[in-house]
Every structure is written in structure tokens, then in C-alpha cells.
């Protein structure tokens, strides 16, 4: 098994793609071949025979992967939970194809970064959730959260669901944290979440106006990620041969 990490979130649109891409860019800059994967994507664009997930493209280009089909094996047009999108579009989520893609990525890369969809309990198929995929991939997780009002409840619920299932939680990353006019909730929530859960806080990412997923503009993502996130606590990579 190659080293890897599963990026999950407290909700949709909290910044999992940004975190996964930032981590990929930092590890790549250190000389590692990084495989990235968004196993299931909804809200995709393009013709039905060639749907494209912009999140997956953002990851793929950040890591400069050679195999786009492996990075995004299951795609749906409707912006719904995968199980629901699969019913609407009359094509089941192909779990065998997803596992095949993951194994192929392991053959070609030093480390694998997998971005989930939504949170742990998003259904991919009947009685099969994102949490089931994490268990089968045997990966530790990083939780991405916002830092504002509601973050304590959402983050603790996600951590609790992960720990109950025996997952290793590497820590929490907060995304889109304001650098000015910070609210009292945003100021105090990270410390409270750490105290109540015992899970490390790995850092926070600010709003980055020059970052755009749809146009694959990364701005200063790599530099900001390296400066503000404890990468070595997420994945301990062996030293590269001299």
C-alpha cells in the first residue's frame, strides 16, 4: 500500500478540492509523484459521453497526472448526492471501476490523495457511503471545515462519525478563514474543536481571490499551503533516494 490521505469535509463546498490540490502541489514540489483522485463527482459539465468534473481537473492539473480517467472514474451531470444522481441518470456508481482506478494509481505514484464528495455519510449507492469507501481504501483522513458559526457542531459530528468507524483522523484544516474583521466564533472555534475532540488543528487557509477552480487558476495556493498547513503531520513521506 502506498502512503495516502482521504480529504473529507463537514459539508459540501467547504474547500476539499482546494486542500487536496494544495497538498498535491506541496508534495510534488518536494519531488514526489502524487496521484490524485475524486472517485465520484456530480454537477459535471459537457456532453453525456464525456462529462467533466472541474474539481477533478483542478486536482489533476495541480498534480500533473498522466491518467485523467483514473483521477475521475465516476461522473454525473446532476448536482445531487451520487446515489440520487445515479437514479436520476439511470447509471449506477461503478464501485469496481473506482477500486480498479485506485489500484492503478497506486502502481504509478508515490502517494495518493483522494478527495471525497460532501461528507462521510453521503451515499454513493444503496447502503454504501463515502465512509465505506474510506474503509476499503484503508486511508487516514483530514477533515476540512469552515471556521465560523456552526463549525463546532459540524466538525465534532464528522470527527465522531470517523472515530466510531475506527478511522485515523490526522487533523482538521479550516478553509476561507478571513484575515480581517474576524468574528469571535472564527477566532475561538479552532481551539474549542481541538479541546473537545483531541484532534490536531493542522492549520487554516485564507480567502484567496486569485484562486479559481473553474479556470484552474491556482494563484499562490502552493506557497500559502506550505506556509500555513502542517504538511508533515498529514503524510510522513520517506526520504527520496539521493
Look up the domain containing 51 and give its range: 4-233
CATH number, position 104: 3.40.50.300
Query: Is position 241 within any domain?
Result: no
Task: Please report the pLDDT score of residue 1 as a whole number.
Answer: 76
Q: Give the total number of structural domains in the chain.
A: 1
Using the predicted structure, report yes or no on whether residue 205 has a pLDDT greater than 60: yes
Task: Please report the pLDDT score of residue 49 as a whole number.
Answer: 84
Of the candidates 16, 38, 170, 222, the residue annotated as catalytic is: 38
Contact 151, 175 (CB under 8 A): no
State the pTM of this model. 0.96
Query: Is position 178 within any domain?
Result: yes
Task: Please report the pLDDT score of residue 236 as a whole number.
Answer: 76
pLDDT, tens digit, 9 for 90 and up, residues 88-115: 999 999 999 999 999 999 999 999 999 9
Task: Please report the pLDDT score of residue 230 as a whole number.
Answer: 97
Query: Is position 175 within any domain?
Result: yes
Q: How far is CA 46 from CA 11, 17, 84, 136, 192, in A?
A: 25, 20, 20, 31, 43
pLDDT, tens digit, 9 for 90 and up, residues 14-69: 999 999 999 999 999 999 999 999 999 999 999 988 999 999 999 999 999 999 89
pLDDT, tens digit, 9 for 90 and up, residues 135-148: 999 999 999 999 99
Which of 37, 39, 40, 12 shows the shortest CA–CA distance to 23?
37
The answer to whether 191 is a known catalytic residue is no
33: its cell numbers: 509523484
Task: Please report the pLDDT score of residue 107 as a whole number.
Answer: 96
Query: Is position 32 within any domain?
Result: yes
Amino acid at each position: 500500500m502506498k502512503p495516502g490521505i482521504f480529504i473529507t469535509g463537514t459539508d459540501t463546498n467547504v474547500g476539499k478540492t482546494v486542500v487536496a490540490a494544495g497538498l498535491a502541489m506541496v508534495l510534488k514540489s518536494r519531488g514526489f509523484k502524487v496521484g490524485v483522485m475524486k472517485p465520484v463527482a456530480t454537477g459535471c459539465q459537457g456532453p453525456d459521453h464525456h462529462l467533466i468534473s472541474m474539481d477533478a481537473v483542478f486536482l489533476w492539473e495541480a498534480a500533473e497526472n498522466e491518467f485523467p480517467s483514473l483521477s475521475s472514474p465516476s461522473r454525473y451531470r446532476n448536482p445531487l448526492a451520487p446515489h440520487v444522481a445515479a437514479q436520476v441518470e439511470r447509471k449506477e456508481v461503478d464501485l469496481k471501476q473506482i477500486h480498479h482506478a485506485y489500484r492503478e494509481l497506486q502502481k504509478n505514484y508515490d502517494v495518493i490523495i483522494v478527495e471525497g464528495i460532501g461528507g462521510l455519510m453521503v451515499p454513493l449507492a444503496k447502503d454504501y457511503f463515502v465512509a465505506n469507501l474510506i474503509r476499503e481504501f484503508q486511508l487516514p483522513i483530514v477533515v476540512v471545515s469552515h471556521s465560523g458559526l456552526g463549525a463546532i457542531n459540524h466538525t465534532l459530528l464528522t470527527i465522531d462519525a470517523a472515530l466510531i468507524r475506527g478511522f485515523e483522523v490526522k487533523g482538521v484544516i479550516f478553509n476561507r478563514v478571513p484575515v480581517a474583521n474576524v468574528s469571535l466564533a472564527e477566532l475561538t472555534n479552532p481551539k474549542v474543536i481541538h479541546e473537545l475532540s483531541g484532534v490536531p488543528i493542522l492549520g487554516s487557509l485564507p480567502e484567496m481571490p486569485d484562486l479559481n477552480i473553474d479556470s484552474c487558476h491556482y494563484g499562490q495556493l502552493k506557497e500559502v499551503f506550505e506556509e500555513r498547513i502542517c504538511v508533515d503531520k498529514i503524510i510522513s513521506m520517506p526520504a527520496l533516494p539521493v
